[in-house]
Amino acid sequence: MNGMRKTLTTAIFASAALAACGGGGGSNNGGTPTGTVNVQMADAPSCGFDHVYVTVSQVRINASSSAGDNDSGWTNITLAPPQKVDLLSLTNGTMAALGQATLPAGQYQQVRLVLAQNQGNTVANSVVVSGTTNEQPLATPSATQSGLKIIRPFDVAANSTVDLVLDFNACKSVVQKGNGSYALKPVITATPTTVTGLIDGYVAAAEAGATVYAEQNGKVVSGTVADSTGHFVFSTLVQSSTNGNYDIVIVQPNETTGIIKSVPVVVGATTRVSTAGQPITLPVSTMNTVSGTVTASADASMRALQTTSTGTYEIASANANLDTGNYTTSLPVAAPVVGAYNGTLPVALIPAAPAGQYTIEADAASGATQSTAVNITGGSQANVNFSF
């Protein structure tokens, strides 16, 4: 799963005929003010895959963050038939419509995304590895039967509609097993668009397919892929006054990493970091790999970080093999080029760190974290191991 996916995304808008039902919600209840929630799904880019398919059968919503499977208060949006969606088509503002429901006005805390199961020769959830054409089954955790739980408060106002976007991070959600098969380790967030704005920009057309991340404090919040014209857009970023400004990190194999720091987001507005006439152009760079082993039982995710005088940034990520603990990631040797957003374009990008210096971080499912510094200027680094 090393390397960033270079396949260009295509625009697909998946719609479904839906029915809302379930206990405790979706009705007027004798004059209780109601609003509408409209649920959509988006995706961050994926490492090493051309397609990642999931089949959604139901979305469940509850006002209680602790509500169990059979507790009261659930409103269900049932997709009939279940909708098979290619997550990797959902970038640059393209979303899959999962339906809507009427809810009593108020605050809601919990969303569950229920996936259909692979059964026999029917592959509901699958991946297509880059460079191949065959769908390989994607094993889903038992929790998918009751739904992948997302705790994210959002408000539904009376006589209004709120768009709720489920952002399914395919890169961090797919993990390989020792026998070459794949399993789902879901990483999903939910964001109401009532608190969001946009960041928009362009890389040079020659860099189409570049992976672009919006980060805060060295962690990826959202990701997308530059289209065939070099255009990229983030459409569901929470306003800066809530969580702080964003750092835009652009990565592409065989090129230097580009970083534009301190980009603000305003609800309902668009912040442009570059234009088609003055796109971001990245210098070339050689690539080297970092590989090693993590204690397999740790079920660890890996991050490659770079620290400059202006902050720490995630450059790449991968999941360690579930059975062997093996991992590998490919990284540019050249120092990242960094510039600060100040409202004037173009943003000047200059080298801002020693070349080839990274911190490799292993994050175990238990919450434990280990990290070590590596230097890839002299070549690839193997046996960068972690033991939990």
What residue spans define the domains of the chain? 18-186, 196-272, 287-334+352-375
The DSSP annotation for 281-303 comes to ---B--EEEEEEEB-GGG--EEE
Residue 16: name the closest of 83, 63, 70, 74 by CA: 83
Residue 69: name the closest of 82, 58, 56 by CA: 58
Buried b (16+ CB within 10 A) or exposed e, 114-139: bbbebeeeeebbbbbbbeeeeeeebe
Task: Provide the pLDDT for residue 44.
Answer: 66
Question: Coil, strand or helix: which one is 102?
Answer: strand
- Site of tokens 């005929």: 17
Task: Provide the pLDDT for residue 40.
Answer: 87
Amino acid (one-letter) located at 333 = V
Tens of pLDDT, residues 168-204: 888 789 999 988 899 998 888 899 988 899 999 999 9
Tens of pLDDT, residues 324-364: 999 999 999 999 999 999 999 999 999 998 999 999 999 99
Residue 43 β-bridge partners: 168
Task: Provide the pLDDT for residue 25.
Answer: 39
Tell me the pLDDT of the chain averaged across its residues: 88
Task: Give the span between the Cα atoms of 306 and 371, in whole angstroms.
Answer: 12
Question: Beta 188-192 vs 196-202: how paired, if at all?
Answer: unpaired
pLDDT above 70 coverage of the chain, percent: 91
The DSSP annotation for 228-289 comes to TTSEEEEEEEEPHHHH--EEEEEE-TTB--EEEEEE---TT-EEES--SSS-B---B--EEE
Buried b (16+ CB within 10 A) or exposed e, 204-213: eeebbbbbbb
Task: Provide the pLDDT for residue 142.
Answer: 76
Q: Does domain 196-272 have CATH number 2.60.40.10?
A: yes
Task: Give the span between the Cα atoms of 331 and 336, in whole angstroms.
Answer: 11
> 196-272 with 287-334+352-375: one CATH topology?
yes
More confident residue, 38 or 280: 280
Mention the CATH class of domain 287-334+352-375: mainly beta
Task: Provide the pLDDT for residue 36.
Answer: 87
More confident residue, 304 or 144: 304
Question: Coil, strand or helix: which one is 4?
Answer: coil
Tens of pLDDT, residues 208-255: 999 999 999 999 999 999 999 999 999 889 999 766 899 999 999 999
Model-level pTM?
A: 0.85
User: Taking the chain, what is the end-to-end CA distance rounded to the nearest angstrom?
Assistant: 22
- Site of tokens 């879901």: 186
Tens of pLDDT, residues 80-99: 999 999 988 888 888 899 99
Average pLDDT over residues 100-128: 93
| Contact present, 116 and 124 (Cβ < 8 Å) | yes
Average pLDDT over residues 275-295: 97
Min mean pLDDT across 56-60, 69-73, 166-170, 308-312 is at: 166-170
Residue 192 has φ and ψ, to the nearest 5°, of -80, 135
